[in-house]
Amino acid sequence: MGSTTPARVAVVGSGVAGLTAAYVAAGTARVTLYEADDRLGGHADTHRVETATGTLAIDTGFIVHNQRTYPTLLRLFAELGVQTQDSEMSMSIRDDASGLEWAGALGRRGLFPTRAHLARPAYLRMLTEIPRFHRRARALLATGEADPASDGTTLRAFLDAGGFSGDFRRHFMEPVVAAVWSCDPELALDYPARYLFTFLQHHGMLAIFGSPPWRTVTGGSGTYVERVAARLHEVRTGTKVTSVAETPTGVEVTDGNGGVETYDAVVVATHPGQALAMLADPTPAQREVLGAMPYSPNTALLHTDASLLPHARNARASWNFRRPEAARGHVTVTYDLTRLQRLPTETHYLVTLGGEHLVDPATVIDRMEYEHPLYTPASVAAQRRLPEIATDRLAFAGAYHGWGFHEDGARSGAAAAARLGLTWQPSGDRGASAQRPETPEPATGVYATTIRHTRRTPFRRSFENHSHTWLVDLDDLPQHGPLAPVLGRFEARDHLGDPHRTIRENVATFLAKHGVALDGPAGRGRVLMAAHPRAFGYCFNPISVFWCLDATGDRIATVVEVHNTYGDRHAYLVKPDPQGRARVGKAMYVSPFHGTDGSYDLAVPVPGDRLHVAVSLHTDDGATFSASLTGARLPGGATGPGSRRRALRAAPAALRGSLLIRAHGLRLWARRLPVRQRPQHHQEGV
């Protein structure tokens, strides 16, 4: 773009790409948004369904996202104050011809929903092929071409080379690709292998464990659509754009009513075929690129016909792929919105793609038409050329710029605006608080730590031991599946609050009782916790620390949770200074050699590459005791590749630490250190 920032901008198309581009552009320009449909949002499609107990907001297009792989969308949500909630992601596969039904992410009950599964040798062999496929796919990504779009090897050729069975293809590989990209299962094996594997690895899907926790928009995805629209200068629904023409002085936009307006710049955020059709004079590159990126139409039905789900209840999941006996040239997949959105109802509200002939018409609530990009070696090659087709006044956006998902659309919308010289303004400049993407977020992972205890009176004694401590995001806790009892899992019963709620919910409730809001107008806050998980059936954390950050990444409070060996715990809310220092009165009996008098001096800076927690107890006798935990983060995060290996190293830490503390106590008792009487302890809500 030239030196002049465009003052009048048109955005054509109101899917997530167009909405993001319009939102970014509106920070500095006057924006007009054109939409051919009578509603905004594209795949962000929320239906209001009336029930006997109230209105349900049910999403039928864009449903879920996660914090690990949707950074652009989450920035938008944060600036708009959009709230989200936990979802449940699982997938089942049903084959009508063979009668096989199974669901991998549901553990043993999903893998073996009936006893008859144990008598299926081909099925059992297929299960053993899945980890082998993961290993080979990761090995392919680790070698060879650096650019996934430059490798034309298809998934079919990759499976042939690896000798994978027909059952593996039919009952695992084809359903996964078809369900994720809403494509015909018969076309799934024609997808480019390296490109596909790059996506799967990015989303934690090239391993049995390690996929990120998924979330859904509270109140439906239409919430964010409405909030973007409210910030735009002009929104024209029901207005189809028939022509976009660059002129020497601007870009002319002609609508279906014959109206013509000239803008300084235009973002075309439609499907590529639609974009090509509206260009008045496309360049050869625009014809070649946009014309080589096909989409697949899909009819979607919102209904309550539970017969679309697997017969075996243990195999029912959030996503339910079904292969009818006769191929029909399209995918058949049913999404359980009651499960995905945690709707407060016993009724299964379902969305089925490609199953119009299977759904009982009496149960249908609404019918929608969606389209999804198809990926072939030719379309992936065309995708690489997308930067060629933009000009200084005309940019293109859409999920087809990436893997076809909501984040890809949002990212392409922001990039299109930037191509035209429109930068994403910090939301403070818009009159609202927001995330500051230039502020690096603390990274999670396992720290190799050293724990030191020092007593200064009535005699001096110290002890030191080496350990491992986790730093985890309470919205993205490590998931180790069946290996969790050994590798460890973080459970609410081991920390403050209600054991039947999540740890994050309990922290938010604790903060709210003290007048601190974790989630605010700027969006969802983040909580980092330093602690040991429950492993080998045991969990003990002398001290757990929760760093509570708002949507901008600023620390709003720190919660220090102390446990003693008698099963008591107490949570202290502190607001440290910029160096992480704070003082708080002691409120619980921790050691048999100390009472409950005195105060703690704390050092709890937000962790980075190093973790540092220090506590000094001050009583009437002065500084009598101090403890510290310091260490460096091991390479790799709390989730993703290598996390199981790091988890195994850290698993014994709680058991070993507990034994050492007790042994140290016995030594102090043997030296006749006076024992203090233990009072009863209770802290409401903790």
Distance, in Å, from the CA atom of 127 to the CA atom of 120, rounded to the nearest integer, reads 11
313 in a domain, yes or no? yes
**pLDDT for res 459:** 63
- Tell me the pLDDT band of 473, cut-offs 50, 70 and 90: very high
Look up residue 236 and give its DSSP letter: E
Least confident of 19-23, 202-206, 316-320: 202-206
98 and 73 in one domain? Answer: no
Tell me, yes or no, whether 523 and 603 share the same domain: yes
Q: Is residue 181 part of a domain?
A: yes
Residue 392 burial (CB count, 10 A) = 14
Mean pLDDT of the chain: 86
Distance CA(568)–CA(573), nearest Å, equals 17
Q: Are 484 and 597 part of one and the same domain?
A: yes
DSSP 438: T
Residues 140 and 241 in one domain: no
Secondary structure E strands in 269-383: 295-303, 319-323, 333-336, 350-353, 364-373
Residues 153 and 109 in one domain: yes
Query: Exposed, middle or buried, 578 (CB in 10 Å: 0-12/13-18/19+)?
Result: exposed
The span from the CA of 481 to the CA of 623, in Å, is 45
Q: What is the CATH number of the domain that holds 397?
A: 3.50.50.60
Q: Please give the average per-residue pLDDT across 240-261, as a whole number.
A: 94
Q: What is the largest CA-CA distance in the chain?
A: 95
* Amino acid 355: pLDDT: 85
187, pLDDT greater than 80: yes
Residues 539 and 503 placed together within one structural domain of the fold: yes
**Considering the domain boundaries, does residue 23 fall inside one?**
yes
Q: Do 449 and 575 belong to one domain?
A: yes
Label residue 439 by pLDDT band (50, 70, 90): very low
Clarify whether residues 316 and 342 are in a common domain.
Answer: yes
Distance CA 142, CA 104 (A): 26
Question: Is 466 found in the same domain as 415?
Answer: no
Nearest to 492 by CA among 442, 548, 531: 531
Same domain, 12 and 138: no
Range of the domain at 264: 8-86+215-294+376-430
Q: In degrees rounded to 5, what are phi and psi of residue 276?
A: -65, -40
| Residue among 304, 292, 394 nearest 343 (CA) | 304
State the total domains in the chain: 3
Domain end residue (candidates: 430, 455, 470): 430
**Rounded to whole angstroms, how far apart are CA atoms 276 and 258?**
19
Residue 503 lies in a domain: yes
Check the CA dihedral 305-90-95-138 and report its sign: positive
Q: Is residue 534 part of a domain?
A: yes
CATH code for position 110: 3.90.660
pLDDT at 431 over 50: no
Residues 471 and 609 in one domain: yes
Q: Is residue 342 part of a domain?
A: yes
- Residue 172, domain member (yes or no): yes
Per-residue pLDDT reduced to its tens digit, 123-182: 999 999 999 999 999 898 887 654 554 467 899 999 999 999 999 999 999 999 988 887
| Token duo for residue 675 | 């024992």
Same-domain status, 501 and 478: yes
2 belongs to a structural domain: no
